[in-house]
Amino acid sequence: MAFDFDTPLRLRGNHTSKYDNIAKTFGIDDPSAIAMWVADMDFKAAPVILDAMRAEIDRGYCGYFGNTVPVDEAVAGWLKDRHGFEIDPSWVRYTHGVISGYGDIIASYSEPGDGVIVFSPVYHAFYRQIEAMGRVVVESPLKVENGRFEMDLEALGAALKGHEKIVTLCSPHNPGGRIWSVDELRALADFCAVHDLILISDEIHMDLTFPGATFVPTLIAAPEHVDRIAILMAASKAFNVAGAETGIAIYPSAEMRRALAPVILDRESTPNRYGMTIIKAAYSGGHDWMDEMRAYLAENFRIFSARMNAIPGVSVMDMNATYLTWVDFSRLGMSDAELLKRSVHEAKVIPSPGTQFGTGGGGHLRFNLALPRATMIEAIERLEKAFGDVQ
C-alpha cells in the first residue's frame, strides 16, 4: 500500500470538530473517547493535495480567487474519468459547501411555506436548511426491503398536498450507503416531471463506492429531465477536505443557470482560494489515493459489520458506498437515550444518534468508519462489551 491510513493523527485539541466538540455535545470529557460521529475522516489528506497547498502558501498571495476555468476542467475530467459523466465545464458553479448550494436552489425554486421533500432517515443538515429558510420539511419515509432502503414513490404521490416544490435525493444515501439503481433514479425523475418538482441530487459521496460497486449520477440515469435536475457534489467527503468549505454545483440546464444567477450574484463572493487549490489538485492527481482509500474503507466495513452483527439483537445495514454505517439496535428494546448512554458513557464511542436523521432513525446509531483500523477495532471491542450483556 503506497498510502498510510493506519497511523493515527493528533486530532484532539487541534480544532478538530469531531473531537473538540464531544464534551459540549455529549456531556463527556474523556481523552480516550473514540469519535465516530462527524462525517470526516481521521486520515491525512492525499499527498497531491498537501503538495498543492504548500505551493500555494509559498506563493505568498492570499487574495481573491479568479479564473475558475482550470478548476472547472479538472471537475469535468474527474467526472468523466471516474463516472463516465461528460459535462461542459461551463455548467460548474462553486458554493460555500454543499448545503450552501442546496440553499441557493431552495431560494430560487420555492417560497416560504412551500414544501421540500426528503427521504428519511437522511442527512440532518437538510432539515436544518429547509427550516431555516422558512420552508416546510415533507418527509417520505424510506422502506427497508431485503436489508436496504427503498423509496416509496406511490405513498409519496398519494401524500402530496400541492405545496411541494422540490425533492431532495441523497445519492449515495446517507445514512446507509445505498447506491440507487438506474431504474430507481429514472423513476424518481419521472415522478418529479409528473408533479412539476425540481430534483436536487446531493452526490457528495459519489466517489466513496467500494471496489466493484458502480455509482450512477442522476443525470446519466435520466438525461431527458435535465431541465429540472441539479447536482451537488464536493471533494470534501472523498478527500477529507471538508474544512475548505467549497462545494460544487452542476447545472446543465441553461434555464436553471439563469434562474440561479441572481441568487449567486447576491452572494457577491469569489470561491475560497484554498478550496479551489484543493479541488484542482484532488481531481487532477488524486486517483491512486482514492482507490487505495476506498479499498481500506471497504475492509473496515467488512470487519465492523461482521463483528457488530454477531452481537445478539444488533444489525448492520449492508452498504457499498460511504464510510457512514447504519446500525439497528431496535430489537434490544432500549430507548434512544439508553442506546447513547451505553455507547457514549460506557463504551466511550461517540456515534451520531439515529434520531437526528428524522423519521425512521429511532433505535439506530450511525458510525463513521473512516479511521485507522486499530482504532476502529478498539471501538468495536468496547461496543461488544457495552451491548454484549443484552439478550
CA distance 220 to 189: 11
111 & 188 share domain: yes
Across the chain, which distance is largest between two alpha carbons, in Å?
61
CATH of the domain at 30: 3.90.1150.10
Tens of pLDDT, residues 212-225: 999 999 999 999 99
Q: How far is CA 231 from CA 199, 218, 227, in A?
A: 9, 8, 12
Tens of pLDDT, residues 353-383: 999 999 999 999 999 999 999 999 999 999 9
Q: What cell numbers appear for 156 in the block?
A: 409519496
End position of a domain, from candidates 270, 285, 300: 285
Residue 391 scores a pLDDT above 70: no
278 & 241 share domain: yes
End position of a domain, from candidates 285, 312, 344: 285
Where residue 343 falls (left for φ over 0; alpha for ψ -120 to 50; beta otherwise) is alpha
CA distance 328 to 313: 8
Provide Rg for the chain, Cα atoms: 21
Tens of pLDDT, residues 54-111: 999 999 999 999 999 999 999 999 999 999 999 999 999 999 999 999 999 999 999 9
156 & 276 share domain: yes
Residue 268 scores a pLDDT above 90: no
Residue 161 host element (H or E): none
How many domains, in total, are found in the chain? 2
The number of CA neighbours under 13 Å toward the Cβ of 269 is 12
For residue 141, the SS3 value is: strand
Whether residue 116 contacts residue 130, with contact meaning beta carbons closer than 8 Å, is answered with yes
End position of a domain, from candidates 232, 257, 285: 285
* 51 assigned to some structural domain: no
75 & 189 share domain: yes
* 10 assigned to some structural domain: no
Whether residue 53 contacts residue 278, with contact meaning beta carbons closer than 8 Å, is answered with yes
Residues sharing a CB contact under 8 Å with residue 229, sequence separation 6 or more, in sequence order: 189, 198, 199, 201, 218, 219, 222, 252, 253
Q: Would you tell me the crossing angle of helices 287-309 and 373-387 to the nearest 10 degrees? A: 20
pTM comes to 0.96
208 & 321 share domain: no
> 186 lies in which domain range?
60-285
